[in-house]
Structure 1
Amino acid sequence: MPYIRKSARSWAGIALIAVLSACTPAANTPSTTSEVPSAAPPHSQASDKPAAPPAPAEKPVQQEQADVVLVGSELEGLYLARAAADEGLSVKIIDPRPAFGGQVLQGEMLFLDAVSDGHGKSLHQGRVKELFDGFKNGKIRKLAEFEQYFAKLSQGIPVEQGVSLEQVGAVQGPDGREHVKAVTYTAKDGTRRQLTAQTWVENTDSAELASKLKVKRLPGLEAFYGQERIEYMSAGYMMKFKNVDWKAWMTAFNAMSDAERRKKFGTAYLSESYALVFDGVTKAYKASDDRLFLRGLNAVYQRDGEVLINALLVYDINPADPASVQYALDLGKKEMPLILEHFRKSLPGWEKAELNGFPAHPYIREYNHYETEYTLQVSDMLSGRMFPDNVSIAGYPLDLQGITSNKWGIEMGRPDKYGMPLRSFLLKGYDNIVMAGKNVGSTAIAYGSARIQPNTSLAAESIGVLLAQLHASGKPLTSVTGDDLAKLHQTLASKHGIKLTGVVGDNKLAGWTKEELRKLDSGEINYPSYKRK
């Protein structure tokens, strides 16, 4: 197994153990301890040494059960939870974070990246379409509006925040795969609980569940950039402002000629809702710390003078290390007054702008990539490949955000559309572990596209429906048949309006040789700049 960077977790607790309930005496089993006469001598014969205090009794473990358990409350996995619950399964969410909502609510990453194919047609399907439609039309822009949407997604599903995972109990199935039967955790109030479930979902951005399993880490961006030290895509620090006169900004912008705009703002786009790039402004800003970088703007107007911007990058952050995460927050918060002053001087309508608070968590783009039953490749995406076990139709450029050695990042190609197979969401070696959202199985380069929310949100919803379909038979996701998939696709189309079959993506790799495809997948070929002979 390749080297895995150490985090705040200890690998000493990772080894799988037998389910605790198998070795815990039943509550109604009579104890024989009190029936055995004491072996201690009479008081007159006792030693002068004081008796040792009795060992504190271990806290009892409360037993719980659910059909599906999510570890973490990231948006993408919530679509699986909602779909499974609506289909009649019992679902529970246990979250190591102290507060609900992950990247969106705690990181306040409220600038949503829409997904369309190479012809400009939206690829949004299923429940996630409602969110993106609300964002586009301005009805879901502010944090409170996102919170209302999350509350609707999780309605009726028990959620526990601030849990600490202790032990994972697994057994080996007849096909050689591991089957997780139970997880023991400590609740926020100190209560110890053992939760059994048929299916487990890794839905954190720091692999809280997967890191306690037998996993194989795939090469990350360090392999692509030729460095030995593991480093993930930069995290984002979401910037929040108020008292911005967006209308004045637009008026001044529209009054300029194209040449004047380029001279003052660089490449820039401004509408009633969005401000994009403005790299002439961001390039003129020098961050106070080398681990910070102000790249081109992704700004959204939230109404009432409030603006949210995704542009401040924080490099070399380990999502599984609380100290590293806190360092990112401290760096970003310290930098914000300086950026505000720069914007006041550089952008019309920003003269009276003020800071509008700070996020509780960084926007985490990437953590370890673990081996799944199938690993998505760059060639799958650029060739428009579809799979018999499609659970999503996806798109988006292969956008690799920067790391310390390449702060601007790089784009590795623009697919038309492609399929995402069920197998890319199933942890290899296990028959009941779903890897939701950013945990999707892909190479580090293919991840640049796979990671985008609508892609994996649709997959999660499809898998939630499939879990309910398989529930009565007890069949694991790793044993689905062609008939199971045909039934799933038919149900999704007729009941949910989700089309996963009969879709054709443009093949941008027609005629490529096997060697060229190999180099494309490994990163030796950068598709946008490659000239075939």
Structure 2
Amino acid sequence: MRLRNPRALLVIALAVLFIALSVFSFSKIWPKQGNLEPLAVSTPTTHHDTPNASNVPKAPIVGTKNNNVNTYPIEQVDVVIIGSELEGLYLARAAADEGLKVKILDPHKEFGGQILQSQMLFLDETRDDQGHLLVQGRVKELFDGFRNAKIRKLPEFATYMNKLVKDIPIESGIVINDIEQISTPDNMHKIGSIVYSNEQNEKKKITATYWVENSDYAALISRLDAKRLPGLEKFYGQKEIEYMSAGMMMKFKNVDWKKFNTAFNLLKPEEKSKQFGGGYVSDSFAIGLSGMTKAYHPSNDRVFLRGLNAVNQRDGDVLINALLVYTVDPAKPESIQDAVALGNKETALILPHFRKTLPGWEHAELGELPTYPYVREYNHYEMDYVLKPSDLLSGTMFWDNVSIGGYPLDLQGTSANKWGIEMGRPDKYGMPLRSFLLKNYENVIAAGKNVGSSAIAYGSTRIQPNTSLAAESIGVILGQLHGKQKLREITPEEMAKLQQYLSLHYQIKLTGVTGTNKISGWNEEEIRKLDTGEITYPSYIQTRKKPVPKK
């Protein structure tokens, strides 16, 4: 049909043009199904929100936006160790030797914790009531070297620790930025990954099967939804939280140790008591002499000179663990710096007192001063099992033993009790795997000072051989499981096989050990008071009335 009306022709042409333009535009904003581009959606990480989790950091939202990828370099390992304290390094070494991929992230700028940075080079051995050495595992090499004067100086300790972490990657001076926390089907928490900054302020992301808290201020656990247990402030009736005093190691040079040893041991017992308050001096060590230290008057109330733990480092060098600094919070850098300033200033004031009162010290001079205090204690967090004084003094052994411990319940001084107090002397006791597993977390392990222990039991559990052995045992167990099974899923039967493996391949004996029960016959009320500190064992046992046996 032929259209003769020009106006109609124009209308039809405009209509066709409009339809064509509409189709073209619609195809631009809504592509065919096969060519759909992914939308830039950021998916938030799953968190477990609880009323007590206000301090739990939120993980970053990682995704794409405007085609700019906002991600970090991601590293995948089996085990991440947070911190470089000696005890946790045994876990790192054992896990690596068992074939796991391990990495150490240290929030401190320098490696080595209390050993290398605090120069706490006086090692306390663990022995049972018969004097038998309880030190086992890889840490025994260190303690044997210390006792035999082969490992006494700082470079010798550094050589040992560097060998311990050989081929294990370490990043020091890191800052934890974000922690990805996931709720598991069984109502547990789980760390999925951590984003951290290195010393160059570069952000990185790391994932792991297990995370190990091995710092002296709970750099990881303090940021989780973990329950803090009562500390010594409850024992002493204080309102504010206070930890055991920190120590500032005192180093001296130009000491004639031979003269010191000879002169002291030529004295009769009554003369030793009169001049020095008793004590003990040998070729290697000087212990006590608290009468001499009591004669020193500190320059302020925050420092205190207790009895000596002194070691002859050879060549006229002497290191002493005796100077306490009170009210130090290891989580606060300003508190640490304050402790260092107070301690090192007091060391210089103590030197003239030693020159005047100790034979062989007439020409002594100050040695290298430490730049970090020896931190004894921080917060205690709830683990699957919390060790109590009654566990230790009863010699309790557990089916899941990862260490055999020993040592007095030695509570070092606080501002409320400057000399400290001893709460009892166990023979030996077991330390279960459960005391190193953070409660309600599927994959967080505690090491060293972070052991699950009441503040009173901590006086003994904190000692290095106890928790070093536990860490090594756990590292071996992780390697044997190799991600196929969770630590919490280990049955008693499986644990027995793992303990047998530790005995056969690592010469670590965790079974068939018996500890003396020093609270045998105590009733429930007595045990309760022992665990809360209402009973001080050394004095109570002297006056405790034994029940009259029934006829």
Please give the TM-score of this superposition, normalised by the length of structure 1. Answer: 0.90
Report the equivalent of 1:440.
451
Q: Does 1:532 align with 2:547?
A: no
Q: Distance in 2 between matches of 1:191 and 1:184?
A: 10
Report the equivalent of 1:128.
139
CA distance 1:339–1:68, shift in 2 (3 Å): same
Q: Secondary structure at the match of 1:334?
A: helix
Q: Distance in 1 between matches of 2:63 and 2:71?
A: 10
Deviation at residue 256 of structure 1 after TM alignment: 1.8
Q: Distance in 2 between matches of 1:507 and 1:262?
A: 34
Q: Distance in 2 between matches of 1:368 and 1:145?
A: 31
Root-mean-square deviation over aligned CA pairs = 1.5
Deviation at residue 268 of structure 1 after TM alignment: 1.6
Report the equivalent of 1:378.
389
Q: Distance in 1 between matches of 2:54 and 2:178?
A: 7
Contact 1:384 1:506 in 2 (8 A): yes
Report the equivalent of 1:119.
130
Deviation at residue 174 of structure 1 after TM alignment: 2.0
Q: Deviations over 1:13-40 (max 9, x none)?
A: 84253575xx324xxxxx756xxxxxxx
Contact 1:333 1:358 in 2 (8 A): yes
Q: Which amino acid aligns with 1:484?
A: E
Q: Deviations over 1:217-249 (max 9, x none)?
A: 000000001111110000000000000000111
Query: Which deviates further from its counterpart, 480-489 or 418-427?
Result: 480-489
Report the equivalent of 2:63.
24
Q: Distance in 1 between matches of 2:181 and 2:482?
A: 20
Q: Which amino acid aligns with 1:15?
A: V
Structure 2 unmatched runs, 5+? 1-51, 546-551
Q: Does 1:247 align with 2:286?
A: no
Q: Which amino acid aligns with 1:436?
A: A
Q: Which amino acid aligns with 1:519?
A: K
Q: Secondary structure at the match of 2:498?
A: helix
Contact 1:19 1:181 in 2 (8 A): no
Deviation at residue 394 of structure 1 after TM alignment: 0.3
Contact 1:202 1:209 in 2 (8 A): yes
Q: Secondary structure at the match of 1:249?
A: helix
Deviation at residue 384 of structure 1 after TM alignment: 0.2
Deviation at residue 532 of structure 1 after TM alignment: 1.8
- 508, 518, 522: which is aligned to 2:532? 522
Q: Which amino acid aligns with 2:321?
A: N
Q: Distance in 2 between matches of 1:469 and 1:501?
A: 18
Extract structure 1 runs of 4+ deviating beyond 6 A: none
Deviation at residue 368 of structure 1 after TM alignment: 0.2
Q: Deviations over 1:244-301 (max 9, x none)?
A: 0001112211222222221111122100000011111100000101000000000000
Query: Which deviates further from its counterpart, 484-493 or 153-162?
Result: 484-493
Please give the TM-score of this superposition, normalised by the length of structure 2. Answer: 0.87
Q: Percent identity?
A: 61
Q: Does 1:510 align with 2:549?
A: no
Contact 1:234 1:316 in 2 (8 A): yes
Q: Distance in 1 between matches of 2:70 and 2:292?
A: 58
Report the equivalent of 2:275.
264
Q: Does 1:184 align with 2:195?
A: yes
Q: Distance in 1 between matches of 2:530 and 2:406?
A: 18
Q: Does 1:485 align with 2:495?
A: yes
Q: Distance in 1 between matches of 2:252 and 2:524?
A: 50
Contact 2:340 2:373 in 1 (8 A): yes
Deviation at residue 59 of structure 1 after TM alignment: 7.7
Trace 1:1-400 onto structure 2 (pairs within 5 A): 14-17=55-58, 20=61, 23-25=62-64, 61-400=72-411
Q: Distance in 2 between matches of 1:216 and 1:149?
A: 35
Q: Secondary structure at the match of 1:303?
A: coil
Q: Which amino acid aligns with 1:17?
A: K
Q: Deviations over 1:403-442 (max 9, x none)?
A: 0010000000000000000000001010110010010001
Q: Deviations over 1:457-493 (max 9, x none)?
A: 00000000111111141x2212211232122101101
Q: Which amino acid aligns with 1:532?
A: R
Q: Which has the larger radius of gyration?
A: 2
Q: Distance in 2 between matches of 1:197 and 1:14?
A: 22
- 468, 492, 509: which is aligned to 1:499? 509
Q: Which amino acid aligns with 2:492?
A: G
Contact 1:173 1:179 in 2 (8 A): yes
Deviation at residue 61 of structure 1 after TM alignment: 1.6
Q: Secondary structure at the match of 1:344?
A: helix
Q: Distance in 2 between matches of 1:59 and 1:452?
A: 45
Structure 1 unmatched runs, 5+? 1-10, 26-30, 34-56
Aligned length: 492
Q: Secondary structure at the match of 1:61?
A: coil
Contact 1:13 1:167 in 2 (8 A): no
Q: Secondary structure at the match of 2:307?
A: strand
Q: Distance in 1 between matches of 2:70 and 2:176?
A: 16
Q: Secondary structure at the match of 1:135?
A: helix
Deviation at residue 12 of structure 1 after TM alignment: 9.8
Q: Secondary structure at the match of 2:527?
A: helix
Contact 1:19 1:182 in 2 (8 A): no
Q: Distance in 1 between matches of 2:156 and 2:261?
A: 25
Contact 1:84 1:91 in 2 (8 A): yes
Trace 1:469-484 onto structure 2 (pairs within 5 A): 469-473=480-484, 475-484=485-494
Q: Distance in 2 between matches of 1:472 and 1:352?
A: 59
Q: Distance in 2 between matches of 1:19 and 1:202?
A: 22
Q: Distance in 1 between matches of 2:316 and 2:145?
A: 19
Q: Secondary structure at the match of 2:341?
A: helix
Contact 2:99 2:479 in 1 (8 A): yes
Q: Distance in 1 between matches of 2:499 and 2:113?
A: 30
Contact 2:53 2:225 in 1 (8 A): no
Contact 2:173 2:199 in 1 (8 A): yes
Q: Distance in 2 between matches of 1:86 and 1:24?
A: 37
